[in-house]
Structure 1
């Protein structure tokens, strides 16, 4: 049965099964990331709510199934539409940056497997599966973090003042690996293996953090002094929260694992986690207010749904895990309350993005190529 012809020949392409996957870009992995972080965030919350663990396990299972389905769909895309896949990476800087999403999806689902999966598949299978997903996700993350900026410098050559928050996606992927790798430390042999993983995570933390600091000034210059960004990119303001919340999660997780991998540095790691994480989470709350206000303005101006709405989920989820980790380190009830409020925001954003994505996928609109020049954000009407 063919889809309605309201969108002309483009929707007509979807009559052929393989054509559904023609424009299935790596940005779709953001839905897997956003779903996995709902499960991982629930598991990290420092509260005991009846049914919360069961909810987390169910959402992890959903994210795992989504990952498998999307990997299969992307395999069709890469084999049947190799020309489109090459252009997404090599010729289009606007889509190349989204190659940071697949490794983060692998890493987030892998961590959920280790944290929530043992009751379903057993501990040995959960450890083995997380080890595979973390290894693949980490290698992919490092390749994206180095490869996409290399392409931007040598091939894409974006115009001055064109930076936007999506540029953070490739370089923040190693931070996710740094935050989720320490969970595997207790499952490695004592000695060099544990220490190597721990300090390797510290290395990825530093690489991702410094790369983020290199990019942020250009992004801010575009936001504050450049031309108006397309309205469809307004949700991507939330992406700045990703390196903030994820780096806080990373230092806390590394500190927790240091006692088993490098006990001589455990006390210093715990102190660093608090001294780094507290001010960074403060800035995250400031940016959350700014990004939230900008998106409320865009919604009042008629911002349509796009896959960029998934930017409301994973970055907020990293702040949930960051605040929860700081609570474990400090015992401050205010941090527990912050984590709960952020989690409620996360679940709300995930539900909205999920429902709108399902509707868009069923209608076929989300399988069309993005408009080349979205309308700029309209000025806020005078009061």
Structure 2
């Protein structure tokens, strides 16, 4: 996710130049490699130790990160649309369209199922609530924003683009509906129990996810509607223009809603005077802020605004800098063994009814 959004931003940055294309392609290739490797390792992990799957599903924190899978896949689909389709043509467009349908189905399934587990199985209390609860909802919004770009591909037939667009609006509505409810509860948690500990304070940036991607998603859907409805007769051609205008207005409003949360997140970091150790949670900064940057860049193009162009360029530069820090520190920590816990025997939640039969490679923490 974090690596993929860097490639997307480098490709779409307002003041783009030819030299940014090379790091964009390299990071895109790196993102695909990381995604395939992580997918293979995850499948192997659950095949070798099937008892881990129900344990993970019943864990109130680890199950939330299922939403990261469709979001990671969405970054690959985005780059296929932006880079591969113009270069390789129809077959790349077909691949992007097929992958997007898989991504959308996974996102909706994960969002609804994990949300149901939260209200029926998981032990969730306000003091234990984290911004990671937003991840399943954001996966639906990301599917919508990616689908908006997929629907704009010239290689798609009109009816294919229409069904893609309608599905995008449904995914966007599901994700924003669930995400805004959780965001209100998370603000209530911050009011009662204040900021998270310094080790996980960067996770506050996750609150930007549904707003940044929500703005970007409705903007992309509006752009797609304007293009698609001009080719169809099921509605007046003006319907596309109306949806486009509504998309720009709603995109601007949701973008503005992200400003207070950006202030909260930056203030949380500054309050600690940057005294917090590097850990894998630093990656939580990249994708949510990347969503805000994508929305800002899109608004700059649609409104022809120098202000949004400068803000989008600035956010992109910050994200690239943080990505370099996170990537280098993660590689160094992985090789030194300081970043990831050592293998051990997993102690699963007793109420899950799962017993450990063997020594496994990763431990779940019990509450």
Which bin holds the TM-score, normalised by the shorter protein? Answer: 0.7 to 0.9
SS at match of 1:342: helix
Cα distance in 1, alignment partners of residues 305 and 251 from structure 2: 13
Corresponding position of 1:351: 324
Cα distance in 1, alignment partners of residues 80 and 288 from structure 2: 20
The alignment status of 1:181 with 2:154, answered yes or no, reads no
Return the offset for 1:273: 2.0
Please say if residues 195 and 201 of structure 2, whose CA atoms lie closer than 8 Å, have aligned partners that are also in contact: no
Please say if residues 195 and 268 of structure 2, whose CA atoms lie closer than 8 Å, have aligned partners that are also in contact: no
Corresponding position of 2:197: 230
Cα distance in 2, alignment partners of residues 101 and 295 from structure 1: 24
The match for 1:287 among 244, 261, 283 is 261
Corresponding position of 2:313: 340
Greater RCO, 1 or 2 (C-alpha within 8 Å, sep 6+):
1
Return the offset for 1:55: 2.1
Corresponding position of 2:174: 207
SS at match of 1:51: helix
SS at match of 2:121: helix
The match for 1:309 among 269, 274, 282 is 282
Return the offset for 1:256: 1.4
Return the offset for 1:174: 0.7
Distance 1:84 1:365, change over 3 A: farther
Q: What per-residue deviation string (whole Å, max 9, x for no partner) do you get for residues 197-234 of structure 1?
A: 11211111111111112111210111121265333321
Cα distance in 2, alignment partners of residues 299 and 354 from structure 1: 23
Corresponding position of 1:6: none
* TM-score, scaled relative to structure 2: 0.86
Corresponding position of 2:83: 116
The alignment status of 1:162 with 2:128, answered yes or no, reads yes
Return the offset for 1:334: 0.4
* TM-score, scaled relative to structure 1: 0.83
The alignment status of 1:107 with 2:85, answered yes or no, reads no
Cα distance in 1, alignment partners of residues 228 and 166 from structure 2: 9
Return the offset for 1:373: 9.2
Corresponding position of 1:321: 294
Cα distance in 1, alignment partners of residues 326 and 366 from structure 2: 23
**TM alignment of 1:19-168, pairs within 5 A:** 33-90=1-58, 92-118=59-85, 122-168=88-134
Cα distance in 1, alignment partners of residues 226 and 125 from structure 2: 47
Gaps of 5+ in 1: 1-32, 375-383
Which deviates more from structure 2 when the two are superposed, residues 226-235 or residues 62-71?
A: 226-235
After TM superposition, what 4+ stretches of structure 1 lie above 3 angstroms from structure 2? 296-301, 369-374
Return the offset for 1:118: 4.2
More helix by share: 1
SS at match of 2:120: helix
Return the offset for 1:279: 2.7
Cα distance in 2, alignment partners of residues 79 and 73 from structure 1: 10
SS at match of 2:200: helix
Which deviates more from structure 2 when the two are superposed, residues 269-278 or residues 35-44?
A: 269-278
